[in-house]
Amino acid sequence: MKFPTTRLRRLRYNPLLRELVSETQLSVNDLIYPIFVCEGEKIKNEIPSMPGQFQLSIDNLIQKCKQVQQKGIKAILLFGVSKKKDLTGDIACSENSIVQKAIKAIKQEDINLLLIADVCNCEYTSHGHCGTIVDGDVDNDLTLKTLARQSLSLAEAGADIIAPSDMMDGRVQAIREILDSSGFYKVPILSYSVKYASSFYSPFRDAADSSPKGFDRKTYQMNYSNSNEAIKEAEQDVFEGADMIMIKPALSYLDIISKIKQKFSLPIVAYSVSGEYSMIKAASANNWIDENEMILETITSIKRAGADIIITYYALEIADILNKKSNELQ
């Protein structure tokens, strides 16, 4: 039908009607909240490049987990901030490493959250790279051994989901094999399958003390010019046993999220990374934008592109907005 019989604005005049016909709905159940945990007690260090985000000691982490649960969020993603570092990341394989200790402490509390353990060596190596360096580059196959042992240690500590973020070839297979052979065949793998070499990671590297030294990560993280390569990476991880696929970053890669969603039937996870968070925070601090409106628009765009689950540092704020809206409608 043509105008004036057809008027597309008819469905926009009433706010309740706009909600009714909305094609994309955000839910608290879509969210994962990332947290940085560090050694010590009573520590709550704000991250300068990520206002409102903190390095938390385990005692404060417990309180944060209770807050996350109270808001209805179902899962957190844990990153370790380690004072001790070595050349290979072996320290991350110890039962006494910071994330393992944090998982055990949370499991002892009355907290019902899915605990997702990031698996990588960059927070634990003195050079800040994601694996063992040989002849000026990260040695893929040596690194697989460390990643597998780290994953097993995290599963033994009680991690509900293992999430390798290193981008080594064959890591999902290596992790799946060691988990299965050790009796952890029920523990899923959320693979950072499509992780681009991105400038959006800079605030995270401040938070986790994981900036690479000597050379960048472009020999293992993906070229942001490439799209078809994302399919190859995801296909390989699915073949090796990944249960969920992650795309990282999110906002500049909505086309990739959509492409992966159309190709695969597994749950699709998008990581709205530190740089995305910090850009909104900076603009809000200068009163250039409405922070809450910008949060909802960007996160909704990620879900609209095809993400089933979204990792975001704004998870708590989004939960507050959605819960308030839900209460108003009751």
Q: What tens digit of pLDDT does each residue of 283-299 get?
A: 999 999 999 999 999 99
Question: What is the tally of helices (H) and strands (E) in the chain?
Answer: 11, 12
**Is there a contact between 150 and 119 (Cβ–Cβ < 8 Å)?**
yes
Whether the predicted pLDDT of 169 surpasses 90? yes
Active site residue 64: no
- The verdict on residue 284 lying in a domain is yes
Report how far residue 35's alpha carbon sits from residue 78's, in angstroms, rounded to the nearest whole number: 5
Q: What is the pLDDT of residue 206?
A: 85
Helices 254-263 and 228-240: crossing angle, nearest 10°?
Answer: 50
Q: What is the pLDDT of residues 40-64, one digit of tens each?
A: 999 999 999 999 999 999 999 999 9
| Percent of the chain clearing pLDDT 90 (strictly above) | 86
229 falls within a domain: yes
In this prediction, residues 137-143 reach a mean pLDDT of 94
Q: Is residue 299 part of a domain?
A: yes
Parent domain of 193: 26-329
Residue 4 is assigned to a structural domain of this protein: no
The residue whose two tokens read 């945990």 is 37
Residue 10 is assigned to a structural domain of this protein = no
Number of domains comprising the chain = 1
Residue 330 has pLDDT above 80, yes or no: no
Local confidence band at 67 (pLDDT 50, 70, 90 cut-offs): very high
pLDDT by residue (tens digit) across 101-135? 999 999 999 999 999 999 998 889 988 888 889 99
Rounded to an integer, the average pLDDT of 248-267 is: 98
CATH of the domain at 264: 3.20.20.70
**Angle at 248 (CA atoms; ends 245, 249), nearest 5 degrees:** 150
Q: Which of 71, 85, 195, 259 is catalytic?
A: 195
Quote the pLDDT of residue 235.
Answer: 98
In a domain, 86, yes or no: yes
Contact 317, 310 (CB under 8 A): no
Mean residue pLDDT of the chain comes to 95
Give the burial string for 135-169 (b: 16+ CB within 10 Å, else e): eeebebeebbbbbbbbbbbbbebbbbbbbbbbbbe
Q: In the block, which residue shows the tokens 């839900």?
A: 326
Report helix, strand or coil for 133.
strand
- pLDDT grade for 329, boundaries at 50, 70 and 90: low
| C-alpha 60: how far from chain center | 20
The whole-number pLDDT of residue 228 equals: 97
- This prediction has a pTM of 0.95
Residues 73-84: tens digit of each pLDDT = 999 999 999 988
Is the per-residue pLDDT at 328 higher than 80? no
Contact assessment for residue 105 and residue 61, using Cβ atoms and an 8 Å cutoff: yes
Residue 14 placed within a domain: no
Active site residue 186: no
Choose, from 71, 85, 248, 303, the residue flagged as catalytic: 248
User: Would you state the pLDDT for residue 301?
Assistant: 98
Q: What is the pLDDT of residues 206-241, one digit of tens each?
A: 888 888 888 888 889 999 999 999 999 999 999 999
Q: What is the pLDDT of residue 128?
A: 83
* Residues 162 and 192: beta-carbon distance below 8 Å: no
- Backbone dihedral angles phi then psi of residue 142, each to the nearest 5 degrees: -65, -40
Instruction: Determine, yes or no, domain membership for 166.
Output: yes
Per the listing, tokens 């008027």 go with 7
